Amino acid sequence: MKLRVVSSLIMLPLLAVVFVGGRLLLAVCFIVGVLCVREFFRAFEQAAARAQGKGARPSHAIAHLAAVGLYCINLFAPQSAVFHSLWLFLAAALSFLYLFNSAGRRIEDGMATLTGIVYVCFFSYHVALVEQLPRYGRMVWLIFLAAFGTDIMAFFTGRALGRHKLCPSISPKKTVEGAVGGFVGGVVFCGAFGYLLMPALFAHCLIIGAIGGVVSQLGDLTASVFKRNLGVKDYGGLIPGHGGILDRFDSVLFTAPSVYYYAVVVIPMTV
């Protein structure tokens, strides 16, 4: 537990990147996305090695090319839905073309490649999209408050009060009490942010906190599903007490798109 807390404190300076925002945040999102997709693919490769080559072997090159293309769109045509749709088509097409070497590749290779591109690169890309919103850029903080606030409160509530297993087949340590505590934590953290810094959108911040309190835990469980099926404990070992970068940011992958689409779809209909 002490190691986990110390590791969390070490990561606090990363929040300075969110404060600066702009191109720095965009660059960090790109780097984190690439590192996370590499960890994600290594888990598949480790599983394939244990299964004597019968598992998936995704393409790092296609994922890296897709990540570069996605962030180039953000630099040169950030508001273009057409270019983003084109990017998604090309990412899928390249993942399928990767299978053309039928003698050496399996369908699982292409599916794992496309999954990593969308699940890791595209989902994490929404952090930058939220920060770039003209009127609601400060809501980027809600992503981390909801994701990390939920995670922290779920951890401590689960340790103190946890009695009933939440999803023992997926994550044996998670409890119903911890999940409820995490949900409350997401609402409280985001509500406090809204009350202090965005009072005109206080109710929306509470709602985002509630949504984040749910989807961040779903993101965590999704990462656990992959790990359990691939037979790995952690995606990496870069962060002591947490595993790899993806292990720490798995809840952000679901929370960032939720905040973005709430901000661009729901809020304009109510203000």
Mean pLDDT of the chain: 91
pLDDT for res 69: 98
Q: Which residue has the higher pLDDT, 269 or 242?
A: 269
Domain locations along the chain: 2-269
Give the tens place of pLDDT for each residue, 36-53: 999 999 999 999 888 776
Give pTM, 2 decimals: 0.92
> What is the DSSP secondary-structure string of the chain?
-HHHHHHHHHHGGGHHHHHH-HHHHHHHHHHHHHHHHHHHHHHHHHHHHHTTT-S----HHHHHHHHHHHHHHHHH-TT-HHHHHHHHHHHHHHHHHGGG-TTT--HHHHHHHHHHIIIIIIHHHHHHHHHT-TTTGGGHHHHHHHHHHHHHHHHHHHHHH--SEEETTTEEEEEHHHHHHHHHHHHHHHHHHHHHH-GGGHHHHHHHHHHHHHHHHHHHHHHHHHHHHHT-S-S-SSBTTTBSHHHHHHHHHHHHHHHHHIIIIIGGGT-
Across the range 243-253, mean pLDDT stands at 90
pLDDT for res 210: 98
Give the tens place of pLDDT for each residue, 53-75: 677 899 999 999 999 999 999 99
pLDDT for res 11: 61
Instruction: Give the whole-number percent of the chain exceeding pLDDT 90.
Output: 74
